[in-house]
Amino acid sequence: MTVTVPPSAHSPVSAPSSDGGRKRLGFFTRLLDDAPAGDRYRLAAEQIIHAERHGFDSAWVAQHHFHEGEGGLPSPFAFLSYVAARTSRIRLGTGVITLPMEDAVRVAEDAAVTDLLSDGRLEIGLGTGGTPASFNAFGFTAEQRGDVYARHLQTLLSAWRGEALGHTENRLYPAAPHLLRRLWQATFSVAGGERAGLAGDGLMLSRTQPRPKDDPAKALDAVQNPIVDAYLAALPVGIAPRILASRSLFVADDPAEALRLAETGLRRVAEGFARSGHILRGDTLQDLIETLDVHVGTPDQVIASLSRDSVLPRATDLVFQVHSVDPPHPLILRSIELTATAVAPALGWVQAAA
pTM of the model: 0.93
Q: Would the pLDDT of 267 be above 90?
A: yes
Q: Would the pLDDT of 7 be above 60?
A: no
When pLDDT is cut at 50, 70 and 90, the band that residue 18 belongs to is: low
Q: Would the pLDDT of 15 be above 60?
A: no
Mean of pLDDT values over 2-30: 62
pLDDT of residue 213: 85
Report pLDDT digits (tens) over 162-215.
999 999 999 999 999 999 999 999 999 999 999 999 999 999 999 989 888 889
Q: Would the pLDDT of 12 be above 90?
A: no
Report pLDDT digits (tens) over 303-328.
999 999 999 999 999 999 999 999 99
The rounded mean pLDDT for the chain is 93
When pLDDT is cut at 50, 70 and 90, the band that residue 274 belongs to is: confident
Q: Would the pLDDT of 5 be above 70?
A: no
Q: Would the pLDDT of 16 be above 50?
A: no
pLDDT of residue 354: 74
When pLDDT is cut at 50, 70 and 90, the band that residue 279 belongs to is: confident
Q: Would the pLDDT of 247 be above 80?
A: yes
Report pLDDT digits (tens) over 131-162.
899 999 999 999 999 999 999 999 999 999 99
Phi, psi (deg, nearest 5) at residue 201: -85, 170
pLDDT of residue 270: 86
When pLDDT is cut at 50, 70 and 90, the band that residue 281 belongs to is: confident
pLDDT of residue 91: 98
Report pLDDT digits (tens) over 62-77.
999 999 988 999 999 9
Mean of pLDDT values over 213-236: 95
pLDDT of residue 273: 76
